[in-house]
Chains A and B, each alone.
Chain A
Amino acid sequence: MIKTSKVISIYTADTSGVCSALYELGGMVVIHDASGCNSTYTTHDEPRWYHKNSMIYISALTEVDAILGNDNKLINDVVETAKELKPKFIALCGAPVSVMVGTDFDAIAREIEQQTSIKTFSIETNGMHSYLSGISKSYLALTKNFCNINMTKEEKTINILGATPLDFSVNGNIEKIQSWLISNGYKINAVFSMGTSLDQIKNAQKASVNLVISYSGLETAKYLENKFSIPFVVGVPFGELFSNQLLNYIELAEKQCKSYYPCANIRKNTNEKENNFLIGESVYMTSLAMAMSLDFSKDFEVICPLETDKEILSKSDVFLDTEYEIEKQVSSADIIVADPLYQPICSKSTSFRRLPHEAFSGRCFRKESKNLINNKQELECFL
């Protein structure tokens, strides 16, 4: 099925997800794509670009180099730059043309690592998947490359997985999640990946439990569970009662060494079907739906237009990824909570509540970005 849109925006792609996830860790990220193609990320997807330095570069691929398979140019340019700037690691990621011509990124990464003695890895992207995929693969690459040794677990020590400005802006959301955990007796170990260092990431195995706050963190949480027996809990601490519930699950997970998806709990308050919708990333929106249900007895159905797992969604939630399907689904909605760039496909009789999501609208509504963590009052605007 051809995916078209007459008027709404598009979620940012996997390459931006990679850059966003690795931004603060002191590595060098190279997108193998044409000159200027990095401006999409640096303009719309990266609020840290102006004030916080990071080595995110583009290879400036040309038609001739692509057709002739001139990988040496990429290798030489990366090696030369790495020797000058001495990054802590090098990550390569593909874009439509470089993937189409069959660039062997793993081989190139090995070659660069041999020449620089700097840990180098490729992240499988092609600019045709969402940012969640790029973040997810980046976290997994970090974990597989840097978290190999078994470490003694420390009680009540927690990693946060899924923190990027694409889902949480740079407005104190992540800091508030951390202070909420700290005030409840937890020690923050590593935050994948805002306000954290590569050294903290390297110690991720010390945690006794993981909190997954975006779908992008789930795969790494599962990997850490399988490899190091660290259980995880999926949900964002929105509102008051859901935050309390989430905390109980975190304690339970640690105690029982079992993972939980409280964001997908049953949230029906009445038998009457309410016609309210939340549109957006699955963990974020199902958590918000839980908070609205518990704090205000207001039920919302979640429409997830991005990749997700069925464990994250509640029974009433749906996965719809085309403008046409979403428009049809919400045609008679009472309330819709979504990024403002969804508003043009919503009926004029619907009460539209603005909740900017940078992965969808970039910096358009950055000034309106909300901090809903562990705060019931902030949720009242969605009623």
Chain B
Amino acid sequence: MLKNLSENKTNVGIPISKAYFPEPFKSSLEYNAPARGTWNIVHTGMLIPESHQIFACAQGCLRGVILTAAEMNAMDRMSWISVEENDMFDATMESDIVDGVTDILNRLERLPPCVLIFISCIHQFAGIDFDEVIEELSNKFLNVKFIDCYMNPTMRKSGLTPDQIMRCKLYSGLSPSKQDKKTINIIGNDRQTSPSSELLKMLRDNGFLIQDITLCKTYEDYKKLSNSLYNITYLPQAFAAGENLENALSQKQIYIPLSYDFDEIKENYTKLANTLGFSLPSLDYYSLSAYNSLINAKNIIGDAPIQIDYTATSRPLGLAKLLLNHGYNVTAIYADVFIGEEEATFNYLKENYPNTIIYPTVNTQMRFFANEHANDKVLAIGQKAAYFSSTKHFVNIVAGGGFYGYDGISQLCKLMIDAYVNEKDTETVISHKGLGCESCL
């Protein structure tokens, strides 16, 4: 007989000792906290230089993506086709998109080299033949690369999430080309890897040319991403993109997951060196620097309560473990679900730090949480932790912040010290959409 685990779950704030993995909280109605730094599919799609986005959706769905573009001063790269009731039932679903895109492209001053066409949940529910749409448009506009994209949050639990799909689609404009075994891509990130990272140094020292979509300035730069023989992915949400490229372009994926564990970081670099065929250099300098950074930051931060959220890093539990094991006072983690990679860490924390509190972010009662739990003594890592604790002291990063490896730990320690010492205008900072993007606010 199946056991209904949800019966025993508590809704708000539970010690990790009593929490279930991977979803500690029961699914119910959801609240939306006003921390806007994480990227959405519009921000990600804009990484393709010179590309244009066209969304075909209902008015309500269009609103969020259009204003994302408006706030990042990119309305000249954004167009839309509004879908109304009758469009779904009069057998014109496909032709409406073809006609709409044609009308828009004909009215643009110049044709973009690449157009991302987004359809929405209702198209998929109605069984749209999107392939036909893309084919017809490709035949009409021979010099434009059309990429099929999806804004389908209703399907978020039916396979890949919209975020994962978007990271895959980001590289759909690439075509097979001659590959250079000394050229390597970092794939699926929305920000560049910190230039001080030993990952980049190690690759360069061994003669590799590193490419990353975040560094591409032109569409021609983007197309060169297909020249690489290898792709590095380190964010879990980018793994599917790496798999896709392995199938489409025969680029070998090297997945070395973002980690805050000294041993795992070394394992990652060993895997990288073995795959690429170079000798692993001594990492002692970097690991010692990371360790010293942790000690130094602890001396400054002391026992200030630290709270971490899932938007700061895909491994909030791993980061909590690192800090707790170095004497920091991590009191809370905000996350609604944990990734599979964190299961061992979850169990470790459960056993060794059972009083660490896990809070949800979307639970309906979290609407009132920030007012009731304001604590400016908190050092938050991540925008949601900053919001919920109402602190002015927070590390403002999303998706790992581009920090990787031992250097990533050192950089994070620097930001923690800075956040501890200096106040931020939390409301203003976390209100900006898409951290790192231009903003008109």
Interface residues of A, Cβ cutoff 8 Å to B? 2-16, 30, 33-40, 42-45, 49-50, 53-55, 57-64, 66, 77-78, 80-81, 84-85, 95-97, 100-101, 126-130, 324, 341, 344, 361-365
Contacts and interface: CB of A to CB of B under 8 A. Distances in A.
A40 B433 CA distance: 11
A6 B70 CA distance: 13
A70 to B, nearest CB: 12
B81 A4 contact: yes
Contacts of B267: none
B60 A341 contact: no
User: Which one of A4, A12, A50, A54 has the greatest number of beta carbons of chain B within 10 Å?
Assistant: A4
Nearest to B11: A84
Interface in B68-89: 70-71, 75-76, 78-85, 87-88
Contacts of A361: 67, 70
A44 B34 contact: no
B99 A2 contact: yes
Which 6 pairs between the two chains have the least Cβ-Cβ distance?
A: A127-B60, A40-B64, A13-B60, A34-B153, A57-B29, A3-B82
A43 B64 contact: yes
Contacts of A10: 59, 62-63, 66, 80, 82
A364 B64 contact: no
A36 B158 CA distance: 16
Contacts of A50: 34, 427, 431
A62 B125 contact: no
A127 B59 contact: yes
Nearest to A12: B63
Contacts of B82: 2-5, 10, 128
A364 B441 contact: yes
Interface of B: 27-32, 34, 36, 58-64, 66-67, 70-71, 75-76, 78-85, 87-88, 96, 99-100, 103-104, 107-108, 120-122, 125-126, 153-158, 362, 364-365, 367-368, 371, 427, 431, 433, 440-441
A296 to B, nearest CB: 31
Nearest to B86: A128
Contact of A77 (B28, B80, B100): B28
Given A2-B82, A36-B156, A66-B125, 12 more contacts: A4-B79, A4-B81, A5-B104, A9-B70, A9-B75, A10-B59, A35-B30, A57-B364, A59-B30, A62-B158, A128-B58, A361-B67
B441 A363 contact: yes
A96 B122 contact: yes
Contacts of A14: 60
Contacts of A6: 79, 104, 107-108
B80 A4 contact: yes
8 contacts: A2-B81, A2-B82, A10-B66, A38-B30, A50-B34, A58-B32, A60-B30, A100-B126
Nearest to B336: A35
A2 B29 contact: no
B158 A63 contact: yes
Contact of A96 (B120, B156, B371): B120
Nearest to A125: B60
Contact of A34 (B83, B126, B156, B427): B156
Given A2-B99, A6-B108, A13-B58, A34 B431 contact: no
A77 B31 CA distance: 13
Contacts of B59: 10-13, 127-130
A90 to B, nearest CB: 11
Main DSSP-derived SS at the B contact region: helix
A246 B31 CA distance: 42
B81 A39 contact: no
A38 B27 contact: no
A127 B82 CA distance: 11
B167 to A, nearest CB: 17
Given A9-B75, A66-B125, A128-B58, A84 B32 contact: no
Contacts of A96: 58, 60-61, 83, 120-122
Contacts of B32: 36, 38-39, 42, 58
B154 A34 contact: yes
Given A10-B80, A34-B121, A100-B122, A57 B104 contact: no
Contacts of A9: 66-67, 70, 75
Contacts of A101: 125
Contacts of B70: 9, 341, 361-362, 364
Nearest to A85: B364
User: Which one of A5, A30, A40, A81 has the greatest number of beta carbons of chain B within 10 Å?
Assistant: A5
Contacts of B84: 3, 128
Nearest to B154: A34
A76 B122 CA distance: 25
Contact of A53 (B36, B156, B371, B441): B371
Nearest to A363: B441
B24 to A, nearest CB: 16
A239 B71 CA distance: 31
A49 B75 contact: no
Contacts of A40: 60-61, 63-64, 67
User: Which one of A38, A49, A63, A84 has the greatest number of beta carbons of chain B within 10 Å?
Assistant: A63
User: Which one of B30, B63, B364 has the greatest number of beta carbons of chain A within 10 Å?
Assistant: B63
Contacts of B125: 66, 97, 100-101
A2 B362 CA distance: 36
A16 B28 contact: no
B83 to A, nearest CB: 7
Contacts of A128: 58-60, 82-85
A72 to B, nearest CB: 13
